[in-house]
């Protein structure tokens, strides 16, 4: 799953997003690209649940 997170701009942002997703799926594999502002997630969670975790962490997210 790949999400665009337009306001993700620093290490604090990526940490908050990763923490939010891992709270729902501790086994998730998360890759972030600050230059492209993309979050790639490998998880058994539904796409909507991962997107909600990113939003709950305080960031807008849309499927890329």
Question: What CATH class is the domain 2-63?
Answer: alpha beta
* DSSP assignments along 5-40, one per residue: -TT--SHHHHHHHHHHHHHH-TT-EEEEETTTTEEE
Query: What tens digit of pLDDT does each residue of 32-47 get?
Result: 999 999 999 999 999 9
DSSP H or E run through 49:
helix 47-56
The pTM assigned to this predicted structure is 0.94
CA 60 to chain centre: 10
pLDDT of residue 11: 95
pLDDT of residue 60: 97
Q: Are the beta carbons of 21 and 30 closer than 8 angstroms?
A: yes
């Amino acid at each position: 799953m790949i999400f665009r997170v337009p306001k993700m701009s620093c290490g604090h942002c990526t940490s908050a997003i990763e923490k939010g997703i891992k709270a729902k799926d501790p086994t998730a594999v998360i890759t972030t690209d600050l230059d492209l502002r993309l979050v790639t997630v490998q998880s058994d969670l539904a796409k909507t649940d991962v997107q909600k975790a990113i939003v709950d962490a305080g960031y807008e997210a849309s499927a890329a």
